[in-house]
Amino acid sequence: MSAILKRWSPLFAWIVLIFALSSIPDVTPGDMKLPAGSDKAVHFIEYGILAILFLRGLSYEHKRLSRSLVIAAILTGAGVGYMDELYQSRVAGRDSSYFDLAADIAGVLTGSLLYAARRKRDIGRDRD
């Protein structure tokens, strides 16, 4: 597998999965046997993973993770979340919510910060 595919295919597969799940009409948290409001946790987790995969792709060949790469991941993840919510608003039986978008962005922020902290820790360990 080429380096580019190895670097980016998990992210693209994850984005396809997000939009595929958003394409399912008439889905409610009750249909998925989730407690009311827990869909925000699902949004948070799915966008945290998105951020981690995006930063993994951006930093694949670099030891140091720059602040600008983390900001790029946050902005891009928020943009994907916005596009997903816009898309859901056009799927029959689905709705778009600012609360869902807020959970998406919170997940992106958390995933980005966790990935950056882990990379920093791993680099510090390499120096020892």
Which residue ranges make up each domain of the chain? Answer: 10-22+37-127
Q: Is 4 exposed, middle or buried (0-12, 13-18, 19+ CB in 10 A)?
A: exposed
- Mean pLDDT, residues 105-119: 94
Residue 126 scores a pLDDT above 60? no
From 67-81, 94-108, 109-123, the region with the lowest mean pLDDT: 109-123
Per DSSP, helices labelled H in the chain are: 3-22, 39-58, 67-88, 98-127
Cut 0.85: pTM above it:
yes
Q: Token pair of 95, please?
A: 């709705």
Between CA 43 and CA 20 the distance in angstroms is: 14
Distances in whole angstroms, Cα of residue 17 to Cα of each of 32, 36, 49, 85, 123: 16, 23, 12, 14, 32
Q: What per-residue confidence (pLDDT) applies to 124? A: 65
